[in-house]
Structure 1
Amino acid sequence: MLGWKSHVRAGLQQRDKAEKLPFTGVFTCLSETQECFEFRNQVLEEIHTKSLEKVGVEDWRQTRLLHLQLRESEHLAEKLSQTVSDLTAVLYLKEAEIQYWQSRVSHYHQEALRLAKGSKSLKSTLVEYEFTVECQSKELASLHMEQERLKEALVQLQRENDRLLQLWMDRRSEEACRVNEYNNTQERWHRLLRYIKKHKETDKPTVPEVMPLSGTTHK
């Protein structure tokens, strides 16, 4: 909301400055001329009322001119004195401003020195951090390479583990087959023994023909 007001105010000030700048000297000269004219009229009226009856016309003119010059000189001296007084006040004010700005410059100089020292310290710290980051980057790259190598070794070990597991399962399967075959053989042998024992108890001389056992192994 304040932005457009400032923009309009700056535009108006710029316009006034552009319009008044060509006439600045004219206004000043006109003001001085008018002031001088009014002062002379005032002095002439005073001279006319005081000296016209006491002197002749010619002397009155000469006196009027001298009195006018004297009053103008006095008026000019007063103006110069006032100008000197004003300039002295302005000079004191400017000296106070100069001292203030010198103190501000000194303060900012000290602040700049402090910031320069801080900047130097930060630069050295930054260099240390950059060196640390570089070392850690190299170490990280080495760890990545080691990780890749370990991944490859893990894959190889997994393959070897799968191969050994399959080999163990194959051997367990063969062993189970041999155990089952042995158990079947033992079962047939026990049946034969029971059959023989049963026939011996009944005193029968005939013995049934037993099939030969092929591929029988005992452990």
Structure 2
Amino acid sequence: MLGWKSHVRSKLRLRDESEKDPFTGVFTCLHETQERLEFRNQILEEIHCKSLDKVGVEDGRQTKLVHLQLRESEHLAEKFSQTVSDLTAVLYLKEAEIQYWQSRVTHYHKEALRLAKGSNSLKSTLSEYEFTVECQSKELASLQKENERLKEALAQVQREKDQLLQRWMDRKSEEALRVNEYNNTQERWRRVLRHIKKHKEMDKPAVLEAMPRSAHTAHTENH
């Protein structure tokens, strides 16, 4: 919204300047002419008021003209002197301003040099940081690859461990089954042997009674 306003304002300023430029010299010349006319009328009135009746008409005119030119020259000299004085004061002021601005320029130049040095230092520091970051990025990428490799190796070791543990548990289960079977077999044999022994003990008196006396005595002696 502000763009068109500034555009219109700049166009109006250019129009005013273009319309005033042709008449600037005319206004200045008119002002100077009016000032000279007023000054001449003032001088003529002063001369007319003086007692010049004793002088002839022609001499009076010449005298008036000389006085007019003399007073006009004096006025112009005073005006020029005042202008020179004003210009001198303006010159001193401008010189003071120039010295001030030169000191400011020197100050800003030194400040610019200091900032340039600081900028160069910061650029070098930034370059070092960028190099460090690049090295650390490469090292991080290498560590990430190494980490991935170690993770894969750990997973492989974990799988192998699980497989070994499963085989060990299977082997222990088989050994437990074999031990249980062996114990069961031994228990069955013990039961059979106890049963056989029991039957032998139960059949032994009947056999002894059926044997002859002599045989029984021989058998006892043998035992």
Q: TM-score, length-normalised on structure 1?
A: 0.76
AA in 2 matched with 1:73: S
- Matching residue of 1:83: 83
AA in 1 matched with 2:83: T
AA in 1 matched with 2:162: D
- Matching residue of 2:132: 132
* Higher mean displacement: 39-48 or 147-156: 147-156
Q: CA deviation at 1:200?
A: 6.3
- Matching residue of 1:14: 13
Correspondences of 1:67-216 after superposition (within 5 Å): 67-192=67-192, 195-196=195-196, 203=202
Q: CA deviation at 1:194?
A: 5.3
Point out the structure with max Rg over C-alpha.
2
Stretches of structure 1 lacking an aligned partner (at least 5 in a row): 206-219
CA distance in 2, matches of 1:39, 1:194: 168
SS at the partner of 1:55? coil
CA distance in 1, matches of 2:34, 2:72: 14
Q: Which has the higher helix share?
A: 2
- Matching residue of 1:211: none
Correspondences of 1:22-61 after superposition (within 5 Å): 22-61=22-61
Q: CA deviation at 1:184?
A: 2.7
Cα contact 1:51–1:60 (8 A) shared by 2: no
RMSD over aligned CA atoms reads 3.0
AA in 1 matched with 2:149: R
Deviations 1:129-172 (A, max 9, x none): 23322322332232223223212212221221222122112112
SS at the partner of 2:53? coil
AA in 2 matched with 1:65: L
Stretches of structure 2 lacking an aligned partner (at least 5 in a row): 205-223
Cα distance, 1:147–1:115 mapped onto 2, change above 3 Å: same
CA distance in 2, matches of 1:54, 1:124: 98
CA distance in 1, matches of 2:116, 2:60: 80
Cα distance, 1:107–1:68 mapped onto 2, change above 3 Å: same
Q: How many residues align?
A: 200
| Percent sequence identity over aligned pairs | 79
Q: CA deviation at 1:117?
A: 2.2
AA in 1 matched with 2:69: Q
Cα contact 1:43–1:68 (8 A) shared by 2: yes
Q: TM-score, length-normalised on structure 2?
A: 0.75
Cα contact 1:52–1:60 (8 A) shared by 2: yes
CA distance in 2, matches of 1:122, 1:165: 61
CA distance in 1, matches of 2:57, 2:177: 166
CA distance in 1, matches of 2:24, 2:190: 142
SS at the partner of 2:50? helix
